[in-house]
Structure 1
Amino acid sequence: MYYSYSNWLKERYGEKVYKLPVNLPVACPNRCSGQKGCSFCSDQGTGFEAGWEPESVTEQMQHVRQIVEKRYKAHKFIAYFQNYTNTYMPMEQFKAYLTEASCFPDIVEISVSTRPDCIRRDYLQCMADLQERTDIQINIELGLQTANYHTLDRINRGHGLAEYIDAMLAIRQYPFTTCTHLIANLPGDTVRDAVETARIVSVLGTDIVKIHSLYIAKDSRMAEDYCDGHLDICSKEEYFERIRRMLENMAPSIAVERLFSRIPEKDAVFCNWQTSWWKLKDEFEAYMRACNSYQGKYFNYRDGSALKGVF
């Protein structure tokens, strides 16, 4: 049906691997110099999952490891720099955080969450040097959200499609994996936008996607519009149709880490049509089966598709 991220990790590392989320004291260029940030973003950024935030990277990882290890009998871990823009800091500081995370026991990967307009070759080289020295793999998570640059402007994303293309082309010169974050139902986007977004990330060679259903975080500008009745969110049924079409047009080699957002109820005024993400996942998979649908069903648009069967 679709290629799950958990299977991708098992194939890559030989067993289940779990993320240890880390919140670094970083900002976002879209919130600096008088900018207000993305309209869907609250003051917390996306650091909901850490839940405990001392100063030390090691302390954060130790705390989460104790929970994950006890619950899942885990033996291998990913250090996940998750909040805001983790390459938006001085190089020496960034290098120090990477080094600290790499020294943590049983870490097989460091995942760095950032923005397409915060990818630069000296930072990439810093990560490449660490990967070569430690044999710890590097994954770079990029927030694209949508390929519709008109929508990116409307949500005040602070970058367009070109920055994502540039970042992916730069990253592909290094031995890293990439994860692209997408929001399948942003206001103003259509099913066609969802399809084209899936096609673009496939052509550019992302390894993983995180597809999010739009949630409305408290204290965000979208929350103001939503509460005032100026923002419409598509129905659950339309969202299912959008992500089905995305998956059908997505390269079958891309691992799917997420299909629905996860945010604590206390932090949102709307999320997932007031339904738990795992129930939505079960419903969606039943919908995929009923439609005889699967990832890559229409992945036939590369390599001179108009020439196929003609010459």
Structure 2
Amino acid sequence: MEGDDEPEILLTNDDGIDAPGIRALHDALAAVASVTVIAPDRNQSAVGRSLSYGRTSAEAEEDDLTTSMADGMFTSPVPHAEHELGYAVRGTPCDCAIVGVNAVEPEPDLVVSGCNSGANLGAYVFSRSGTVSAAMEAAYLDTPSIAISMDTLGIERDLEPADFDRAGEIAAALATGVPGTGLFDRIDYLNVNVPRPGVEENGVELTRPTEIYEMDAALEDGGFQLTNRLWQQMANRDIPDPEDTDRHALLEGSVSVSPMRVPYEVVETSDVRRILERML
């Protein structure tokens, strides 16, 4: 992103191209940048870094995601349709990131994923969230990226684009403020979480992902049940996390911004090497 030219931004999400969060970000970013939208044609929440590659074919039925590629082929189609915002893709958020970075001109300077309806907090969520995974995928493709999500716990009505105004402001500020800073020479992507509408603004905090992880499981009445204790605590506005973490900042009314590097760094210390050599 050089000079006075508008940055080229690829915008995607995991809630689907018709979700109010992506509309809000599109309108905010379009005021300061050239925006191309490539997003799933339906909700793809919590699909993580999954790809359609190898699971679809041109002959597949509309909802069939199990058809494998023919032997000897290394290309898999990703069906799409034109949409008023851009392209609606029958695929995953990571499909959209790859297509947007490699197959559409001009090449984006920045990938923005969101705004997700629901916060994406904690180290455990990164490989699970479609929103964050799209940003991670772009980072692996050497393209700076930002994942943006908004806390929606306690909101029982349908959300409108106006509910995401704060997220749009943050996205536009980052899109225009990053060029020339060298920020993405030091990090790979940003994970941003915005408080829910109606919460009194309490500034912006640089954070690290909380490492608290409290998924629980039980066998009740002959069936297994999963309970997310972390979200249960958050719904009660409890804050068991250290002050420098993303969840703590969000529950204090601050916008949480976590500068991230893509995983997964190899851990190879002398102790680890010695233990593995004994085992193998």
What TM-score comes out, normalization by structure 2 length? 0.34
What TM-score comes out, normalization by structure 1 length? 0.31
More strand by percentage: 2
More helix by percentage: 1
